[in-house]
Amino acid sequence: MSEADRRSIAEVLLGELLGQRIALETGGFCACPGVGMHTKGNGKRDFRVVLDGAPTGYCFHGSCSASVESFNKELRRRIWFAENGREARAPRHHWGAEVAAEPKAEARPNRPPLDHAQIDAFTRGCPEIAEAWVARRSAVEIVGLSSLDFLNALYREDERVLVFTDQRSQGDFIVWKKPAELGAQAVVTGYRLSQQRGVKAVESRLPAGGPEGVWFLTQPVSGQWIVRSDATYPPAGGREVSAKYTRRSQGNVAAWRYFVLESDELPAEVWLRVLAHLPLPIAAIYTSGKRSIHALVRYEVASKAEWDAVKKTLLQIVAPLGADPAALTAVRLSRLPGCTRAGEMQRLLYLCPKPNPTALRMLPELRP
């Protein structure tokens, strides 16, 4: 199916929702399907539909998120059926048209509404930020840097980092920065892990990619299995059950160092401009293998409580500018640069292992 066919499906759906004929402008801009829920003034470029990959609509107004989410689900459903030549499967239950749908918990807003005017004011005076512009300010030359090199730059001797090809697993690989012997450098080695306790890891290269991509746990870990803090063992009543073990929980964390910033609402070029203006110690910037861009912020703290205190302050700064609050969790997986996601590279754009709290736009170009 061509992009024109996808555009036609999007325009028909928008027309149904808005009650008028809709034509997408250059760049995919048009009226928002949730325009009636906006709490602030509307702009001509508030809502945008991106049709490549997973078709997605974005709006700068957070108050219409429920309508935009419904639009995205229906748009993807229609395009999928059009491209695959099949109709939707019949529902599992045939209870009749008057039977109510299953009630769902009402979603709680977890972020302040996006204010496009505030974002424009914050980034005013800054030129368009391209990936090459960011790379020229990287403290480390990123050309030819492998995923193992990336982890080596960000972690210390005797630290271990979990790597995932399945984000639901307990870690598929681990990278260990072995302590250096006298007069030598630390050796960074990857190991393949078993999902069962008691099975010895084997030395291995890190995966080059995967259908869903490759992740790393941003905080270094002990590498050991522990009983989960929420496991009850033995349970009340005297019956014996297996304890729940983990190697990726808060109790496994060996140091509290990193915060992940990403935006699921702003277009990549706008999010890059926001990142370039933030006076934060950004250690790395890299793509997700799709449209999203992640930034790794470095604040070394002594405990989870201190990490939470920094997060609270950080949220007040970045959430109104488009950062996703859900990404700011202490035990967080992020995309591993240098690996592929369904054939698309998770590209490293910027690396500074010891960053200062200086906005990228204030940094000099270090290479042509």
Domain ranges of the chain: 3-87, 122-362
123-128 CB contacts, 8 Å cutoff, 24+ apart: 123/270, 123/273, 123/274, 123/276, 123/277, 126/273, 126/276, 126/277, 126/361, 128/269, 128/273
Q: Under 8 Å CB-to-CB from 191, ≥6 apart: which residues?
A: 173, 174, 175, 176, 201, 202, 203, 204
The one-digit pLDDT tens for each residue of the chain (368 residues) are: 788 889 999 999 988 888 788 888 888 899 898 888 888 888 888 899 998 888 899 988 888 888 888 899 889 888 888 887 655 454 455 555 566 666 766 554 455 667 778 888 888 877 778 899 999 999 999 999 999 999 999 999 999 999 999 999 999 999 999 887 766 777 899 999 999 999 999 999 999 998 899 999 999 999 999 987 665 445 444 444 445 889 999 999 999 999 999 998 888 989 999 999 999 999 999 999 988 999 999 999 999 999 999 999 999 999 989 999 999 999 999 999 999 998 899 999 999 999 999 999 999 999 88
Residue 95 tokens, joined: 């209870």
| Distance (Å, whole) CA 239 – CA 242 | 10
Q: Report the SS3 class of residue 56.
A: strand
Q: Report the SS3 class of residue 39.
A: coil
pTM of the model: 0.68
